[in-house]
């Protein structure tokens, strides 16, 4: 019987979808301004593992943020040609052919799917690097084909926030198991009320009257050693 591997033995490269990344690049070439929509999409260099993918993303990202609104494989080639070392890596990995295929194959209306797929695996890698076992969400070493297919389907159906919530719930359950509650103290609201009333009869906690009926009632007058502050929106009052 083969001993089940620890989650620390997971190869980080197995938490990476090359096809989704390629289609993502194709979608970006077709609609490069998508990278400027920071309110919805937030791609980062760490979302990519292979060096040639990181080089391609950096090139697209830099071109977009330089104001280039139409990008194709030739534009990427021209940009990288100025950086010999990166260009060599790009060409050795047949970068031109890959980008041309991606641009033709990627469908713009599927960009969100490609984006979420890439970000989900990036998130799982981040959890794994932080020492968190993510196999209850996705186990790249699962050998059972039915379980593997089910995990793939569930991963596709989950949002990024739902994945984060699942991990947080795991952490919360562990914390609650070991967390020691702090000492607490409570009493009835009317505890010692008679003594308090008698004390206020002898020495009323009321100061000199202030301007305004409501403020005077709320703070019980101008009492010694008390600081009162009032605030209002800009332009209200003097």
Rounded CA-CA distance 38/46 in Å is 16
* Confidence (pLDDT) at 108: 65
Burial 26-37 (b: 16+ CB within 10 A, else e): bbbbbebebbee
* Confidence (pLDDT) at 184: 63
Q: pTM higher than 0.85, yes or no?
A: no
Closest by CA position to 120, among listed 148, 153, 149: 153
Q: Please answer whether residues 21 and 48 qualify as being in contact, where contact means their C-beta atoms are separated by less than 8 angstroms.
A: yes
* Confidence (pLDDT) at 183: 64
Q: Which CATH superfamily is domain 10-131 in?
A: DNAb Helicase; Chain A (1.10.860.10)
Residues of the chain with pLDDT under 50: 1
* Confidence (pLDDT) at 164: 96
pLDDT, tens digit (0-9, with 9 covering 90-100), for 97-140: 999 999 999 876 788 999 999 999 999 999 999 999 999 999 99
């Amino acid at each position: 019987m083969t001993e089940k591997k620890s989650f620390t033995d997971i190869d980080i490269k197995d938490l990476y979808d090359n096809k989704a990344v390629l289609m993502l690049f194709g979608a970006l070439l077709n609609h490069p301004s998508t990278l400027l929509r920071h309110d919805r999409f937030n791609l980062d260099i760490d979302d990519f593992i292979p060096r040639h993918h990181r080089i391609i993303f950096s090139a697209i990202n830099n071109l977009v943020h330089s104001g280039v609104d139409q990008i194709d494989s030739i534009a990427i080639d021209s940009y990288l040609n100025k950086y010999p070392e990166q260009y060599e890596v790009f060409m050795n990995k047949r970068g031109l052919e890959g980008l041309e295929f991606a641009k033709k194959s990627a469908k713009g209306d599927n960009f969100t799917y490609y984006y979420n797929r890439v970000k989900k695996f990036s998130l799982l890698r981040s959890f794994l690097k932080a020492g968190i076992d993510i196999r209850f969400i996705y186990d790249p070493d699962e050998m059972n084909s039915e379980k593997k297919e089910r995990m793939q389907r569930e991963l596709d159906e989950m949002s990024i926030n739902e994945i984060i919530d699942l991990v947080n719930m795991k952490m919360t359950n562990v914390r609650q198991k070991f967390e020691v509650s702090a000492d607490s103290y409570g009493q009835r609201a009317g505890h010692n009320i008679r003594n308090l009333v008698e004390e206020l009869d002898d020495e009323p906690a009321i100061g000199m009257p202030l301007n305004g009926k409501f403020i005077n009632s709320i703070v019980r007058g101008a009492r010694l050693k008390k600081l009162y502050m009032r605030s209002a929106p800009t332009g209200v009052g003097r």
